[in-house]
Amino acid sequence: MRATLSLARLPVLTLYSGANCSLCDVAKAELAKLRQNVTSHESTCNIETDICNRSAGV
């Protein structure tokens, strides 16, 4: 059973990533597993362009 919180109270997880980063790929895969059980806001930041994308997890 998944716990539900208001979106304002969800934890924010930020992953700093770059192109051709094998450790980043491993982290993304582990986070995908975590999203199956935990609701959170997610943010991915490209360290090369300093562009961040934020989305609400499901």
Domain boundaries, the chain: 10-56
Q: Which of 31, 43, 34 is nearest to 2 (CA)?
A: 34
What token pair was written down for 34? 């975590």
* pLDDT at residue 26 in the model: 93
pLDDT, tens digit, 9 for 90 and up, residues 4-50: 545 566 677 788 888 888 998 999 888 888 878 777 677 888 888 87
Q: Find how far residue 20's CA is from the centre of its chain.
A: 18
